[in-house]
Every structure is written in C-alpha cells, then in structure tokens.
Amino acid sequence: MRKIVINGGRPLEGWVTVSGAKNSVVALIPAIILADGIVTLDGVPAISDVDSLIDIMETMGATVRRDGETLEIDPRGVQDMPMPFGKINSLRASYYFYGSLLGRFGQAIVGLPGGCDLGPRPIDLHLKAFEAMGATVSYEGSNMHLTATEGQIHGAHIYMDTVSVGATINTMLAAVKAKGRTVIENAAREPEIIDVATLLNNMGAHIRGAGTDIITIEGVESLHGTRHQVIPDRIEAGTYIALAAAAGQGIHVDNVLYEHLESYIAKLEEMGVHMTVSEDSIFVEKQEKLKAVSVKTAPYPGLATDLQQPLTPLLLKAEGSGRVLDTIYEKRVGHVAELAKMGADIKTTSNYISYQGPNQLTGAQVKATDLRAGAAMVIAGLMAQGTTEITNIEFILRGYSNIIEKLQALGADIQLVED
C-alpha cells in the first residue's frame, strides 16, 4: 500500500506549472478512435487515468507512442471488440468509448464505467441521446451493448434534460460521423467541451456552437489525423491557487487561463485573497486575514464542483462561519470527516457543509475518499502542524500530474511512501 506523508507548516514559495486538463484528455483519447490517421496530443498530463486509457487503446489495436507530455496515437488498427471490463471499470470517463465506438463501428460492447463514488451519476442522458440517433441498448452481465439498427447512427434533435458534460461530449463523439445533422440543446458549456470540439474539427468534423447551450453537428464520412494542444487543467490550477492562499509565502501558478476560473477567482477575492492575474499566470501573495464565505457550486460558468473540496481547507483558515452547498454531487462530502480528524470545526448538516474558523489543523492519519477529496487532504496536510499520512492515494494520482514533485519544488516536505 502506498501513502503520502506530509510534514506540515513549512513555508511554500516559488513557481508551479499547471498540466494539461484531465477532464479534456480523458475524452480526447477515446475521440481519436474516430480518426483515419495519426493524432498527436501535446500537453498530456502524467496521471493514472491516462495510463489506463492507453492500455485500453493498445488492447483494442491502436499503436501508441508516448514521449513526456506528447502522445501519438494511430487508431487505424482498432478492432470492433468487447472492451476489457477491468480497465473500463477503473475510471468514470471510460463511457466516452460508447460514443466513439458507436460512431466508428455502429456498435459497441463496453463494461459499465467506474470512478469516484460521488453519489448518483446516471448515464441515462447518454443512452437517451444514442437511442434518438437510432441505437438500441441492451445489457448482458456487466456489459452494455449499443447497436445502430441501420448499421450507422443518424442525426437527431436532442434536448438534454439536465446539463451534463459527459452526455454532451458523448453525443458529439457519436454524431460527428452520423448521417445528417444533430442538434444538442441545453448542452453543457465547459471549456473541456470546446477542447474536444476543437480536436474533432481539426480532424475534419463540422461542429458549431461548442461553449454555448446549443451545439450543431453536421455528420461527415471520414476524419483525418491532426495535432492538438490540450488546454490547461482549470481544476489543477484552482487547487494550486487554493494551496498557495492557504499555505504559501508567495506562489506563481503558471499555465492558467483566467477566463476558465472567473467565478472561482471572484469567490477567493470575496474572501480577501490577494492575487495578481497576468495573461497566463496568477501570483498568490502570502495571506494575512481572510473572511468566511458561503459557497455554492453550479454548472459552468459557475463555481466548479471539482473545486469545492480543494477550496474547503482554505475556508477553514478564514474568520467567521460559512456553508458549502454542492448542487452537482450531493455525496461530495467525504473530506469533511477527514478534516475533522485534523481538528477542523466542520460538519455536514442536511445538504450543507458548515464550518467555523479560523482553525489550526493538526497532522493526523486520513484517507482520500475520492480524487478531489484527496487534493483537499494534501492542502490540509501542508497547512497543519505535525505529520499527516494520507492513504487511498490512487485517487489523487488519477488526476494530479507529478503532484509530489511539484510540491517538493515549492518547499513542501512531502513524500510518496511504499508501506
């Protein structure tokens, strides 16, 4: 078993560079199945979810070459075959293979997706879209069978009952090679959707409206290879900004797109966090006094649910009381009990997280209950006096590229230990 050990209370300063977006690349890699030539991605993060996706692609017959942050994939050898359940079940984003395989082969046999336990995250919106495009859905054991009744799916007018990033991207993947036009209404608007649409358009797709709530896709017969730069990870950026405000003596966070974080930055400014925003970086000063605020997550451009947990340790440093409401994933509260073990005055009340500050955290043995909860525990460990040991760290390594090395470069006393 591996764990992260942190000796907290050390002064942190310097520079940290944000890697490519996890939530983009886990969709970009399955999207490459649709191409008839080699696709190269630059800025690919070194995370275990990428490792799993590469294994899946190679199992299916793709040729993959990796050199640092550059990933070259030739999908022409991909076979129409059942997807390996073990790898598929290890990450939530495996459901993007539904859309890409359906678009390329007119059918797909894929195991049900896994990932963090954040409460109900049904894929009914994905299936509703596929059925509108002429696919039938059936189940056999742990596998889902998707089949285009006419051998190829067709365009359709689809209204998303709720805003869903995954369903919006999956529908785009299925639609780019469908017969005719597909219109997605009430589409999600996240930057990662724009990133996936940009890759597909560079491959020869005809997608308009990505980043708005209406996306139109004109189906094409074939897609070609291309080269694409993955956007910076706005969740990783927000995590390091929170860390810098909570435990830093002056930290530059580089490779940041401010427009992807406007609502988050506004909430930090409401707390009294002092920052200097530049074209592609943010300098976070040493903070003296912070004010408690209440936080409510919302679909983009609102404050991202993925930033709720990394933000929480910083809230504990503020004076006063506040509440946190996650409107996206109601079970995203696993970090609360772990922070309480470190002496935090924090609890869950009904659907809210309530806290009182300021708090001086003390090192303890804690666990990462999911990916972003793991990031919260790392920040809390850096803030705390004494030693913090974090288990279940595989969650953290799924989404934060080279996190140990990046924090050590800032002066953190942090180690990954084989127990």
DSSP sequence for 166-235: HHHHHHHHHHTTSBSEEEEES----HHHHHHHHHHHHTT-EEE-BTBSEEEEE--S----EEEEPPB-HH
372 in a labelled binding site: no
286 in a labelled binding site: no
- Residue 48: name the closest of 406, 407, 413, 403 by CA: 403
H-run or E-run covering 405: helix 403-409
* CA pseudo-torsion sign 304, 327, 27, 240: positive
367 labelled catalytic: no
22 in a labelled binding site: yes
| Residue 174 structure tokens | 């299925």
Catalytic residue among 116, 153, 244, 361: 116
169 in a labelled binding site: no
Distance CA 288, CA 245 (A): 10
125 in a labelled binding site: yes
213 in a labelled binding site: no
117 in a labelled binding site: no
| Residue 59 structure tokens | 């199992």
313 in a labelled binding site: no
92 in a labelled binding site: yes
23 in a labelled binding site: yes
The CB density around residue 377, as the number of other CB atoms within 10 Å, is: 35
Output the furthest CA–CA distance in the chain (Å, rounded). Answer: 65
Do the bridges between strand 320-325 and strand 352-357 make them parallel or antiparallel, or are there none, so unpaired? antiparallel
What are the binding residues?
22-23, 92, 121-125, 306, 328
What are the binding residues for phosphoenolpyruvate?
22-23
What are the binding residues for UDP-N-acetyl-alpha-D-glucosamine?
92, 121-125, 306, 328
* Residues with catalytic roles: 116
